[in-house]
Amino acid sequence: MGHGKLKKFAENETFRCLLQPDASAILNKEPGSRELRLKDHAIKGRWGADMFGNDHPIVLELGCGKGDYTIALAQRNPDINYIGVDIKGARLWKGAKFATEHALPNVAFLRTRIEFIDAFFGPQEVSEIWLTFSDPQLRGSENSRLSSPLFLERYRHFLKADGIVHLKTDSRYLYEYTKAVVEVNALHVVVAEEDIYAHRDRVPAEVTQVQTFYEKMFLEMGLPITYMAFGLAHEGPYAFPGEAFDHERWLEAEGPRRSFSHQPTKKM
């Protein structure tokens, strides 16, 4: 591990806005068993009181990377609390440092795996969720997609009844997959747009006015950016899209992109 990364990890420990729980704080081993069970963290249900000192709405960005989108939204909306979630401490360092140096009172970051998100937020604690340029998991497990029924079930545990999930992505594959999940479960769609910059009038202003580093790069590459906003109100477990989602069609439409950065591969 490089000296620069070690320095960032050390500095992360000094940021009040960054929560980095040990595994022992959220994982519990059953007596006589090797199985680990998720348990509630002390912050669960208390973000407003313990982190922000107010009762303003809370919005999450899952897979926030360096936190630029989280910070930009927070600067635009000072009466809303924003929490960026990511597993990479070196990435979160940039956002946490900026929020600390600029004394942003409505920004916080959480370092954890998104699979463990249930341990940190209580019922009705979150008003909105942003999924910005998430890995579409083109070759990975369907359950690893942040808009899969498995993750929607997790979000439902803490999202307000009228809460909204925002998906913003360059991946047409992920957009169409999410659309299929939404349709199969008859979820309420607020907005669904295949090219937000060609139809700015169809999406909220901040969707095009706030951009991530990767978004700017994708736009320079001529890739359309999609956006969908939907609710989670649904009776019973969420269904998987099955044949309603044409995996092969949208995988082909995705083009030769890398699953990590979605960038086109170089031709040899």
Instruction: Please give the mean pLDDT across all residues of the chain.
Output: 92
Confidence (pLDDT) at 3: 62
Angle at 57 between CA 85 and CA 62, to 5 degrees: 15
Q: Domains (ranges, CATH) in the chain?
A: 3-254 (3.40.50.150)
* pTM check: above 0.85: yes
Catalytic residue, candidates 135, 162, 170, 201:
135
Round to whole Å and give the CA distance between 96 and 67: 8
pLDDT in tens, 189-204: 999 999 999 999 999 9
- For the residues 63-78, what does the mean pLDDT come to? 97
Q: Clarify whether 135 is annotated catalytic.
A: yes
Structure tokens given for 62: 């899952």
Torsion of CA 109, 110, 115, 118, to 10 degrees: -100
**Which run of H or of E encompasses 36?**
strand 36-38
